[in-house]
Copies of this chain bind each other. A is one copy, B any other.
Amino acid sequence: MSSATIPRYRQLKELIIRQIFSGELRPRDRVPSENELVESTGVSRMTANRALRELNDEGYVERVAGVGTFVADLKAASHVLEVRNIADEIALRGHEHKATILRCAESPADNAAAEALQIDVGMSLLHARLVHHESDIPIQLEERFVLPRFAPQFLHQDFTAITPSAYLSSVSPLQEAEHIVRAEMPDQETRENLQMDSGEPCLVVNRRTWSHGSPVTYARLFHPASRFELSGHYAPPGAEAANRRVGGGSNSK
């Protein structure tokens, strides 16, 4: 089960990905150009091109013809991870985002958090609980747990100005994410914090994110069913272009 030899374009890709993950190459940093890779690694330009082009397709870097290749910044990285910042979402709808902090303190891990973050129950976690408002209407209650060693300054941030998610993205590159979506009835306190009618369910998103292969943060996001939905749309790449020329009489989009 050995993989014989690893192709050179793959070796190049992994070399650069490693430098990005390790922090040796930071977002917006310049990545060696094709010609530089040709000189430094002895590979042909087509091979260097393939490595950088695939890194571009995968969202690791951004290439600008005539300028150069640069490590993708965190906005782009979060696009790769399909993670959205609630504040950005609200701003995108043209509304105002406000956050109310309910709690911001160190606390021992309960069962759920310990399991999610692969630590022992009772270990110390950074914990924030806040409510996000869209035009003064509560839309999300965020219960966030963070491993101290990845963001020691977490509790000292002003979460009315920067969301926990945005702050964490800025200090630790997200490299892996998991979502679990459930419908749940809220407890009394959650219901009141979100100003929900009794009998109204919550759409709950549990999200874990990893950096460098180990869990960094675990969040439980509660949304009033009447004010929140998740949506996703998928079209395979290239389909539009091909559709333009096929299917003579169908209504285009």
Indicate if the CB atoms of A184 and B213 lie closer than 8 Å: no
- Measured CA separation A245–B21 after assembly (Å): 10
Interface membership of A81, Cβ < 8 A: yes
Residues of B within 8 A of A137 (CB): none
Interface membership of A181, Cβ < 8 A: yes
Q: How many copies does the complex hold?
A: 2
- Measured CA separation A252–B246 after assembly (Å): 48
Indicate if the CB atoms of A81 and B234 lie closer than 8 Å: yes
9-residue interface stretch from A33-41, A127-135, A155-163, A225-233: A225-233
28 A-B residue pairs with CB within 8 Å: A14-B238, A14-B242, A17-B239, A17-B241, A17-B242, A57-B57, A58-B237, A60-B236, A81-B236, A175-B236, A176-B233, A176-B234, A176-B236, A177-B233, A178-B231, A179-B231, A179-B232, A179-B233, A180-B231, A181-B229, A181-B230, A184-B201, A184-B225, A185-B200, A185-B201, A199-B199, A212-B247, A213-B251
